[in-house]
Homo-oligomer: A and B are copies of this chain.
Amino acid sequence: MVVTIKDVARAAGVSPSTVCRALSAPELVRAETRERVRRSAAELDYSPNRAARGLITGRTGNLGLVVPDLGNPFFPGVVKGIQARAREADHAVFLADTDEDPAAEVRLVRTLAKQVDGLVLCSPRMSGTELRGFATQTPLVLLNRRVGRIPAVTVDNPGGMRQAVTHLTALGHRRIAYVAGPRTSWSNRERVRGLRAAVAAAGAHLAEIGPVQPQFDGGVAAADPVLAAGVTAVIAYNDVIALGLLSRFNARGIAVPAEISVLGFDDIALAAMVHPSLTTVGLPMESSGRAGVDLLLALLRDPEGAGATRRELGTHLMVRASTGPPPTD
């Protein structure tokens, strides 16, 4: 059987109340008693049942994290940051993968909400209305999405696109393609917005392909339309799509970057491992996670949230081997 507070109380010859105090408000207990209780607790290897505690304090010491798809190498980075920061603050993290299913997402949020102090929703797929509903019931922080006044951590997508376009136009590219991610993705909309502005400002020409699934196969499928568009460079919604492009170009014998330059977004670990290595816009994945937890903890301390409820983080271009000057023919 699991050891409870009563077992410790009996072993130490005190009441459960005293055990509770000795462990969570030591200054209220006589030093001698405190020590006795602590020894008993240690001997019995006691640790309080957080769920039971949460029932009365309203605080479980647990955070919930919901992500759409752990298979997308972008998310593990965020998860790492969140876990690290949460652990520093002595909170455990419960993680749920929704498998890109908005309905499952709603169910999981509902289930999790009861057992945690607050939730971090990473790139949530559910509707803004649903999100607003949850936000009124439970402390909530969004990552990579903005909905009303819900606390959120985002990255500067337009700024990233600006850097990407500056890089390409400096190399001499004038005709650029974009392979779009899901229409429902907030990040995709932001990236398109920034891209159009940057391309227009540079007086270059933009060909928009897609949307495609933000996966390897999406990139494979987009490769031929990209070539048909007669561009000298292509920017993908994310790195995974870019890898699909590279693969298909390779299969068709198209040299990268000699014949076409390829640029990704996210800087997943993989981007540096493939050949040619992928030029990409790096996002601060771990920092995003940490910032999300910081916002959530602040929200828990001060539920009315007079403090900052928004964070926007910068991006940085990682120039690698997949981009170069356009062909000179």
Q: Given the complex, which residues of B lie within 8 Å of A193, measured CB to CB?
A: none
> Does B76 contact A80, Cβ atoms closer than 8 Å?
no
CB of A87 within 8 Å of the partner chain: yes
Q: A50-B114, A96-B93, A274-B274 are in contact. Are A79 and B83 (CB under 8 A)?
A: no
How many copies of this chain does one complex carry? Answer: 2
> Does B2 contact A114, Cβ atoms closer than 8 Å?
yes
Q: A87-B104, A92-B108, A273-B243 are in contact. Are A114 and B76 (CB under 8 A)?
A: no
CB of A209 within 8 Å of the partner chain: no
CB of A270 within 8 Å of the partner chain: yes
Q: Given the complex, which residues of B lie within 8 Å of A99, measured CB to CB?
A: 80, 83-84
Q: For the complex, give the distance between the alpha carbons of A80 and B104 in Å.
A: 14
Q: Given the complex, which residues of B lie within 8 Å of A114, measured CB to CB?
A: 2, 47, 49-51
Task: Provide the main secondary structure of the chain A interface.
Answer: helix
CB of A115 within 8 Å of the partner chain: yes
CB of A97 within 8 Å of the partner chain: yes
CB of A52 within 8 Å of the partner chain: yes
Q: Which of B77, B108, B115 contacts A71 (CB 8 A)?
A: B77
Interface residues in A, total, Cβ within 8 A: 48
Q: Shortest distance in angstroms between A246's beta carbon and chain B's nearest beta carbon?
A: 8
Q: For the complex, give the distance between the alpha carbons of A70 and B84 in Å.
A: 13
CB of A171 within 8 Å of the partner chain: no
CB of A186 within 8 Å of the partner chain: no
Q: For the complex, give the distance between the alpha carbons of A104 and B51 in Å.
A: 20
Q: For the complex, give the distance between the alpha carbons of A138 and B2 in Å.
A: 8
Q: For the complex, give the distance between the alpha carbons of A54 and B115 in Å.
A: 11
> Does B80 contact A111, Cβ atoms closer than 8 Å?
no
Contact string, A28-52, partner B, CB cutoff 8 A, digits 1/0?
0000000000000000000101111
Contact string, A58-88, partner B, CB cutoff 8 A, digits 1/0?
0010100000001101001101100110010
Q: Shortest distance in angstroms between A134's beta carbon and chain B's nearest beta carbon?
A: 11
> Does A94 contact B97, Cβ atoms closer than 8 Å?
no
CB of A227 within 8 Å of the partner chain: no
Q: For the complex, give the distance between the alpha carbons of A112 and B52 in Å.
A: 13
> Does A60 contact B50, Cβ atoms closer than 8 Å?
no
Q: For the complex, give the distance between the alpha carbons of A28 and B244 in Å.
A: 57
CB of A205 within 8 Å of the partner chain: no
> Does B50 contact A111, Cβ atoms closer than 8 Å?
yes
Q: A79-B70, A87-B104 are in contact. Are A50 and B97 (CB under 8 A)?
A: no
Q: Given the complex, which residues of B lie within 8 Å of A113, measured CB to CB?
A: 2
Q: List 20 A-B contacts (CB under 8 A).
A: A2-B113, A2-B114, A50-B115, A51-B51, A51-B55, A51-B60, A51-B115, A80-B97, A83-B99, A87-B104, A92-B111, A93-B95, A94-B94, A95-B96, A95-B97, A115-B115, A244-B273, A246-B275, A270-B270, A275-B275
Given contacts A51-B60, A92-B96, 5 further A-B contacts (CB under 8 A): A50-B114, A83-B99, A92-B112, A93-B96, A270-B270
